[in-house]
Amino acid sequence: MTTTKTPGTCAAAQMSEQGVYPSDEQQHHFAKRLLAWFERHGRHGLPWQYHHQSSADIYAVWLSEIMLQQTQVVTVLKFFEPFLARFGTVQALAAAEWQDVAPFWAGLGYYARARNLHAGARQVADFIGTHGRFPETVDEWQAIKGVGRSTAGAIVAMGVKKFGVICDGNVKRVLTRHRGILGDITKSATDKRLWEIATALTPKERSGHYAQAMMDLGATICTRTQPKCDLCPVAGDCIAYALDAQSQMPVKKKAPPKPHRHSIALSITHRGRTLWLHRQNGGGIWDGLWSLPMFMLPLDDDKQLNNNTLSDAIVKAWQSDDKAHDLAHSQLIEILPMPTQGSKVHLRHTLTHFHWHLYARLIDINDGQFQQIDQALTAVGIDYLWTDTPHDLALPVAMQKLLTLSDDPA
């Protein structure tokens, strides 16, 4: 399907803070065109698309919606079915301990999502125990930890198979362009307007198919850069398309630059095996996963560090008794030589709130140091192991990347 722009296509097109509210006719035809496109060109082979079946699996739809937050479909596909195979029902997930859940999220990132999902599963299991059913309304789902308004709408539409409205990042991009909305999407007034339009455009019937169609349109056609407007089913009355203004929308206030933090990761090796620590920090970063011992460096510089600057920072960190240091700091500094030399591996890993620079340092220890470390870590109850197959562990993304860089002979 190709859209041809004609002089009368959108003659009255006007961009403004609030954009143009769709007429009744536009509302009807928008959904009709989008659903027709979805039937022919949408993504239909995804494992969580139970809204195509006679009975929806609400739990699977919920799980997919959480996994897909800030994560591409191709990545989620690697994790979805193994997670569902291990925790096949919401009751199974609710009954599991976090330490059992964490390995099945390792590498997917944004681990707060998984902790919220786990806590939410316990809420839903309790709800089912009381009411004999899953939550079925947007309000009921929004009461579940980690479920916001758009996620709740998606679950209701695609899982419960009732009327539900979504307005996530992909949908906001489509709507701001289609309706010529120049308001900052981070502002409450613009957000309210977008929800009003999203609700008006969502059909009362087949809102689950419509929700998936909107997601697909934003992900594959109305993309952030280089949108494929000639293939768009709703380009005929799209204001941004008529005015060649696609790149101007959505408007979003530029975020302040993220700070930079620096850490060293110690690869402590004895007879070919490396020390890994099992992080158990009460819901903190990487809780339930494995990592190399790490120490924060007293630096706040976004520039590439030279060897002298880095070595000086390591000396300060190694000698510091700062309580903010990572797990096992006080045990290891009494035993190990100061790691100012070693691997040149440098990884920059971007998290939600900061850029994290990890510098690998290799320390090969003798039999006496090995025994000392075992005794010291055991004495304070730190869970650890020595292994020559770290890729088999449940590792966070940063550790996986660090291993890949360390294994690269280049």
Residues 6+ apart with CB under 8 A from 36: 233
Task: Give Dmax (Cα) for the chain.
Answer: 83
CATH: 3.40.50.2300, 3.20.20.80, 3.40.1440.10, 3.90.79.10. Which one for 260-407? Answer: 3.90.79.10
At residue 94 the predicted structure's pLDDT band, cuts being 50, 70 and 90, is very high
Instruction: Give residue 7's pLDDT.
Output: 38
Residues 6+ apart with CB under 8 A from 250: 172, 173, 176, 177, 181, 185
- CA 52 – CA 44 distance, rounded (Å): 8
Our CA angle for 66, 72, 78, nearest 5°, is 80
- CA 112 – CA 172 distance, rounded (Å): 24
| Domains in the chain: boundaries | 24-248, 260-407
Instruction: Give residue 410's pLDDT.
Output: 42
**Percent of the chain scoring above 90 in pLDDT:** 62
pLDDT, tens digit, 9 for 90 and up, residues 372-401: 999 989 988 889 999 999 999 999 989 999
Give the pairing of strands 260-270 and 294-296. antiparallel
Instruction: Give residue 20's pLDDT.
Output: 95
CB distance 195 to 168 below 8 Å:
no
pTM (2 d.p.): 0.84
SS3 43: coil
Of 232 and 343, the one with more pLDDT: 232
Nearest CA among 209, 210, 240 for reference residue 222: 240
Cα 260 to chain centroid, rounded = 20
Instruction: Give residue 51's pLDDT.
Output: 44
- CA 188 – CA 168 distance, rounded (Å): 14
Nearest CA among 152, 149, 176 for reference residue 61: 152
Average pLDDT over residues 14-26: 93
Of 35 and 324, the one with more pLDDT: 35
Instruction: Give residue 12's pLDDT.
Output: 52
Average pLDDT over residues 343-354: 81
Written as six digits, the tokens of 221 are: 């056609």
Average pLDDT over residues 29-41: 97
At residue 324 the predicted structure's pLDDT band, cuts being 50, 70 and 90, is very low
- CA 138 – CA 151 distance, rounded (Å): 9
pLDDT, tens digit, 9 for 90 and up, residues 306-317: 666 777 777 777
- CA 345 – CA 348 distance, rounded (Å): 10
- CA 277 – CA 125 distance, rounded (Å): 33
- CA 257 – CA 179 distance, rounded (Å): 30
Average pLDDT over residues 119-143: 97
At residue 406 the predicted structure's pLDDT band, cuts being 50, 70 and 90, is confident
Cα-flanking dihedrals φ and ψ of residue 313, to 5°?
-65, -40
Residues 6+ apart with CB under 8 A from 294: 263, 264, 265, 266, 326, 358
pLDDT, tens digit, 9 for 90 and up, residues 253-262: 888 888 888 8
- CA 307 – CA 304 distance, rounded (Å): 10
Instruction: Give residue 333's pLDDT.
Output: 77
Beta strands in 297-394 (DSSP E): 346-350, 355-364, 384-387
Average pLDDT over residues 323-346: 69
CATH: 1.10.340.30, 3.40.50.10420, 3.40.50.300, 1.10.3720.10. Which one for 24-248? Answer: 1.10.340.30
- CA 285 – CA 265 distance, rounded (Å): 15
Least confident of 5-9, 72-76, 319-323: 5-9
What is the DSSP secondary structure assignment for residue 337, as one 8-state letter? P
Our CA angle for 173, 139, 73, nearest 5°, is 40
- CA 3 – CA 241 distance, rounded (Å): 10
Q: Which residues are catalytic?
A: 65
In the predicted model, what is the mean pLDDT of the chain? 88
pLDDT, tens digit, 9 for 90 and up, residues 268-307: 999 999 999 988 766 667 888 999 998 888 776 655 566 6
* Distance (Å) of CA 47 to CA 71, 118, 230: 16, 21, 29
Nearest CA among 51, 60, 58 for reference residue 133: 58
Does the fold of domain 260-407 match that of domain 24-248? no
